[in-house]
């Protein structure tokens, strides 16, 4: 189901194959890749055709369906051996997003109890994971929007909308819900270097949904806060530790530090599948380091001095003490700590 503020779907299962909107080419080109090979699905996750922890999880679930279909057709008696190798390959596509491993494990467990052709049972689960993600996002949208006073300005970082999820979005879902409820006066989006997810993706989604958006360079966020133009920073997460520390797109920590200094509230919105209670603190969350070319080049063209090196962590850790509220579909945790996180996840 879509509505006037929810027009985008990045991951779809159509005619028994996976359709992915290629987010590397947005906003200039809207191209959909049609995939029926599990290795190609893993490549799409690694190469950021699809990105955002929930969307990666949904994509991996459909990738497992594709893998099972091929392996069962090749050898109905021993298909599970090759299928497990495919799942490992999927799981290794990107290390930080916990939803990836969560979805792969759910598909693995489902496959273990299936008899005969595994595809119908696995497809049913993948569709369920997808539908539950959208419903969870709508729930989070309403829960998060309730914290926002009418007339507020909000700032978001990276992309947390329909492109990053099964649909509607996490942090951007809160912004959609708050806008629909006439609670927002303005929406600002960091450009989000080096992949420019804010400029290319968040701005594209909001324009598509007729929600006015103002883009700013990442380094302008603190100046915007100092002027009193935003009351909330609202972001997503790729993994949340048991104490409430948050891994999210690089630059999130900077925004949280600036927000605390300027008295701006900081909200993290993510499905419960993003909470990893097996990880005590953010110090234990693996941080993906990506190719230096992503910083040294832009759209394949060099922008840095020849011979310069680059450090390119994809994520950073925002400590729980800088987070005012974590919103999941299970409920809300204000001023998170281990006890509150445990109670929510119980």
User: Could you give the number of structural domains in the chain?
Assistant: 2
Of 93, 110, 136, the last residue of a domain is 136
Q: How far apart are CA 83 and CA 70, in angstroms?
A: 9
Domain boundary pick from 136, 169, 187: 136
CATH number, position 214: 3.40.50.10470
Residues annotated catalytic, as ranges? 238
pLDDT at 283 > cutoff 90? yes
The pLDDT tens digits for 33-59 are: 999 999 999 999 999 899 888 899 999
How is 52-68 classified by DSSP, letter by letter? SHHHHHHHHHHHHHHHH
| pLDDT at site 221 | 98
Identify the pLDDT of residue 2.
Answer: 54
pTM of the model: 0.89
The answer to whether residues 29 and 94 belong to one domain is yes
Query: Structural domain of residue 38, as residue ranges?
Result: 11-136
Identify whether residues 204 and 190 lie together within a single domain.
Answer: yes
Average pLDDT rounded to a whole number, residues 79-106: 91
Tokens (6 digits) for 74: 């090749």
Q: Write out pLDDT tens, residues 252-267.
A: 999 999 999 999 999 9
Q: Are residues 239 and 222 in the same domain?
A: yes
Distance in angstroms (rounded) separating the CA atoms of residues 205 and 30 = 12
Model confidence pLDDT, tens digit, residues 14-33: 999 999 999 999 999 999 99
Tokens of 215: 């883009």
Residue 184 shares a structural domain with residue 299: yes
Do residues 301 and 110 touch, judged by C-beta distance below 8 A? no
Q: What is the pLDDT of residue 251?
A: 98
Judge contact between 155 and 137, C-beta under 8 A: no
């Amino acid at each position: 189901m879509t509505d006037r503020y929810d027009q985008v779907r990045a991951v779809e299962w159509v005619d028994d194959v996976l359709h992915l909107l290629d987010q590397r080419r947005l906003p200039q080109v809207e191209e959909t890749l049609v995939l029926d090979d599990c290795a190609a699905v893993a490549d799409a996750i690694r190469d950021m055709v699809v990105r955002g922890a929930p969307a990666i999880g949904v994509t991996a679930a459909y990738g497992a369906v594709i893998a099972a279909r091929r392996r069962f057709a090749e050898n109905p008696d021993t298909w599970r051996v090759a299928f497990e190798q495919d799942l490992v390959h999927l799981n290794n596509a990107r290390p930080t997003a916990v939803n990836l491993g969560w979805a792969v494990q759910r598909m693995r467990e489902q496959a273990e109890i299936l008899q005969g052709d595994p595809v119908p049972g696995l497809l049913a689960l993948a569709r369920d994971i997808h539908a539950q993600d959208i419903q969870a996002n709508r729930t989070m949208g309403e829960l998060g929007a309730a914290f926002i006073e009418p007339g507020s300005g909000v700032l978001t970082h990276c992309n947390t909308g329909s492109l990053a999820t099964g649909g509607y979005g996490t942090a951007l879902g809160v912004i959609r819900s708050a806008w629909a409820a006439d609670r927002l006066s303005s929406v600002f989006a960091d450009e989000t270097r080096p992949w420019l997810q804010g400029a290319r993706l968040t701005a594209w989604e909001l324009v598509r949904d007729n929600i006015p958006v103002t883009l700013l360079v990442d380094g302008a966020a603190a100046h915007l806060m100092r002027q009193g133009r935003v009351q909330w920073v609202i972001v997503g997460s790729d993994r949340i530790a048991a104490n409430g520390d948050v891994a999210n797109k690089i630059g999130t920590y900077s925004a949280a530090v600036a927000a605390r200094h300027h008295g701006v509230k900081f909200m993290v919105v993510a499905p419960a599948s993003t909470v990893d209670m097996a990880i005590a603190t953010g110090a234990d969350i693996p941080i993906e380091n990506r190719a230096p070319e992503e910083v040294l080049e832009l759209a394949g063209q060099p922008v840095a001095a020849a011979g310069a090196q680059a450090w390119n962590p994809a994520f950073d850790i925002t400590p729980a003490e800088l987070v005012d509220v974590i919103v999941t579909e299970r409920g809300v945790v204000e001023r998170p700590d281990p006890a509150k996180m445990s109670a929510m996840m119980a």
